């Protein structure tokens, strides 16, 4: 099983209507991990204040984990880390497109 680490820029916004910024994280991962797995890892082990969507069906049915990954709308539960990695071992994660951000990656 392959393992590695990836650099993430994750959108952070303290509250609805506030200005947002991107925060950098470096996260280890195992082969087969999804973007949602990385976000959970950040929330549970690095930054407990990171707000991410609560629901994750893992099958791409509920769309509650829709995020902007490297500028494209993607389901975080169905997007493997390996396919999202850009140049320089980098992934940029933002809130879902055309939705009002409540906090960080959680939108209305």
Q: Domains plus CATH for the chain?
A: 3-107 (3.10.20.30)
The predicted pLDDT at position 88 comes to 86
pLDDT at 108: 87
Residues 6+ apart with CB under 8 A from 45: none
53 to 1, 24, 44: CA distances (angstroms): 28, 19, 14
Give residue 4's pLDDT. Answer: 78
Give the Å distances, CA to CA, from 92 to 35, 59, 85, 88.
10, 22, 9, 12
Q: Two tokens at 71?
A: 């500028």
**pLDDT the model gives residue 60:** 67
> Residue ranges of the chain with pLDDT lower than 50?
none
Environment class of 88 (CB within 10 Å of its CB; exposed 0-12, middle 13-18, buried 19+): exposed
What per-residue confidence (pLDDT) applies to 63? Answer: 83
Cα dihedral across residues 17, 18, 21, 27: positive or negative: negative
21-50 confidence digits (pLDDT tens):
999 999 999 999 999 999 999 999 999 999
Indicate the pTM of the whole model.
0.90
Cβ(53)–Cβ(77) below 8 Å: no
């Amino acid at each position: 099983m392959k393992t590695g680490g990836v650099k993430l820029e994750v959108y952070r916004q303290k509250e609805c209507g506030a200005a947002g910024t991107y925060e950098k994280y470096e996260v280890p991962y195992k082969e087969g991990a999804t973007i949602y797995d990385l976000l959970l890892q950040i929330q549970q082990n690095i930054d407990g204040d990171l707000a991410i969507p609560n629901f994750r069906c893992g099958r791409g049915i509920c769309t509650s984990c829709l995020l902007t990954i490297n500028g494209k709308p993607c389901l975080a539960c169905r997007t493997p880390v390996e396919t999202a990695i850009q140049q320089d071992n980098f992934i940029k994660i933002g809130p879902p497109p055309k939705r009002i951000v409540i906090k960080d990656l959680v939108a209305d």
